[in-house]
Amino acid sequence: MSFVDTLRHWDEAVTCVNRQDFSKALEIFLAIQEPNSKIFFDIGCLHLLNQDFDAAEKAFDCSIRKDEHLAIAFFQRGITFYKKKRYEESLADFQKTFKTLRGNQLIDYKALGLRYILYACDVLHNMALVEAQLGRWEKAQEYLMKALDYKTEARFNIIDKALQSILKQKLFKLVEFQSKEMFKPNKHYVAELEKKDYLGKAKVVASVVPQDEFSGFAPLQPQVEDGPTCPKEPVVLRALEGDPHTVLFEFIPETSDELAVVPGNIVFVLQKGADNWAYVVFNERKGLVPYNYLERLEISLASNKNKGITPPPSREPPTRPERIQGLTPREATSGNRQRQEKQSTDNSCIVKVHFNFNFVVSVPSGSPYTMLIEKISRKLNLPSSAVTLSLTSEASEQSVISANTEMEKLWSRASSGRVTLWCNTKEEEVHLVALHSYESSNPEDLSFQQGDKIKLLSKINQDWLEGQCNGNTGIFPASFVEEVPANSQ
């Protein structure tokens, strides 16, 4: 199996573990033909999670053979021997773990792809427990006293409670590794697994050949005398629909069904009304433009070669024609007709909203507050309760618009069917509920019990979140919680 295939299987297996699909993850891991020490370690953790201690022992043996300096593998095999009640072998592995630490207080495996910190005081704690199991209480007490020299603030209570149990000659709880934590492949290698098309594919932009989809390269054609003569009749370039026209003057729309164009644009006229308005399409957008702002354009190979496109004149634009109901063209399709009926220019008002970005919405003039706030909140994809509208850039009691505001005050400010508002938003707190209990294995983790309420602070990635619970702040797996509906918070 190639390195790329091994990396892909490894990443898929870790993803299954994050989804709590441990059987599928183990199946993928076992399909890897030449696992490295980290993959063997992950396999051993899954066997240990399934209470298959013999298979876990073999996997940790392989992991140690691949890397004899991997202290966490000795630690896990020691836990496996302890659960099999092979205490002498368990003690030997814990001693090897402590020796591999080389006098350091801890080893942080985060740089190697494992979210776990192995503390020397935890190793000494387990060594003391094994000695207690063997009835050697004085030796157990020596290990715990030595653990006090390596203690950290997060582990002080564990050592203290163990010492109290030793004085009473009682056993205490084993410090275990979180078997759901796995060595993950290097994220930079995983990012390179996806194929990338650096060159892309050639695309036909313009062609005189109908439905031309050729995307390769043609060889040079031989130059011959007495070649075929060019056609006398000009070949007309195809248009999707409508008659091509050149825009002579800039047109600024005043209603939502009109289309903004500038001199030099080429539009296609779909319909021309008796009131001198034309329904056109430009850049896949359709709308109304005064026909006296346009000039018919004959597009052909001959005209492009000899004449080119006539530059727009520099004279003043003509007056805007009056739109007469019933004579102004409309789009023929029923869907757009319904849309235009909704955007009737007789009583609609264009509301310009200043936010982090500016946008407009169209509502009937005199609309109630609920209709206005609903349109704006839908545009921002936010609940209406998180949106605050005001008549000025600085929101004050006098300028803020709410359900209690007299809307005549707003609509009286409209000029030529337009009004301007300012918008502010407030972020709503997101609360989560714990589906399962989670015990922190690292100082930066957040511990909680099933049913606890957690305030979400940030989303680190798709697998880990940061939150606050019971006065403590830390990170935790996203799969252990679910969001509380807003109406039940």
Report the C-alpha gap between 101 and 119 in whole angstroms.
9
The proportion of the chain whose per-residue pLDDT surpasses 90, expressed as a percent, equals 28
Q: Quick one: pLDDT at residue 489?
A: 54
Highest mean pLDDT among 6-20, 287-301, 317-331, 360-374: 6-20
204 pLDDT higher than 70: no
The proportion of the chain whose per-residue pLDDT surpasses 70, expressed as a percent, equals 80
Write the CB contacts of 269 (distance below 8 Å, at least 6 apart in sequence).
242, 243, 244, 245, 278, 279, 280, 291, 294
Residue, of 357 and 116, whose pLDDT is higher:
116
345 confidence band (pLDDT: 50, 70, 90) = very low
Q: Tokens for 16?
A: 């299954």
Nearest CA-CA partner of 110 in 472, 446, 458, 443: 443
232 pLDDT higher than 50: no
Average pLDDT over residues 295-311: 55
Average pLDDT over residues 29-41: 91
Q: Quick one: pLDDT at residue 274?
A: 82
The 10s digit of each residue's pLDDT in 133-175 is 999 999 999 998 998 888 776 656 788 888 889 888 999 999 9
Report the C-alpha gap between 461 and 455 in whole angstroms.
17
Q: Quick one: pLDDT at residue 339?
A: 45
486 pLDDT higher than 70: no
418-425 vs 348-354, strand pairing mode: parallel
Residues forming a β-bridge with 364: 348
Measured from the Cβ of residue 32, the count of other Cβ atoms closer than 10 Å reads 19
377 pLDDT higher than 90: no
Q: Quick one: pLDDT at residue 206?
A: 58
**Average pLDDT value over all residues in the chain:** 80
The Cα-based distances of 36 to 29, 169, 385 in angstroms read 11, 42, 54
305 pLDDT higher than 50: no
340 pLDDT higher than 80: no
Q: Quick one: pLDDT at residue 411?
A: 84
427 pLDDT higher than 90: no
**DSSP assignment string, 393-446:** SS--TTTEE-TTS-THHHHTT-BTTEEEEEEEE-PPP-EEEESS-B--SSTTB-
Average pLDDT over residues 192-201: 70
Q: Tokens for 485?
A: 């509906």
22 pLDDT higher than 60: yes
Q: Quick one: pLDDT at residue 61?
A: 94
| Domains of the chain, start order | 3-187 (1.25.40.10), 243-296 (2.30.30.40), 348-425 (3.10.20.90), 431-483 (2.30.30.40)
Q: Quick one: pLDDT at residue 240?
A: 52
Average pLDDT over residues 394-416: 82
237 pLDDT higher than 50: no
Q: Quick one: pLDDT at residue 224?
A: 46
344 confidence band (pLDDT: 50, 70, 90) = very low
> What pTM, to 2 d.p., does this model score?
0.43
Q: Quick one: pLDDT at residue 202?
A: 67
221 pLDDT higher than 50: no
Nearest CA-CA partner of 182 in 7, 4, 16, 69: 16
342 pLDDT higher than 50: no
131 pLDDT higher than 90: yes
Residue, of 417 and 301, whose pLDDT is higher:
417
Average pLDDT over residues 349-356: 85
Residue identified by tokens 């403590």 is 472
311 confidence band (pLDDT: 50, 70, 90) = low
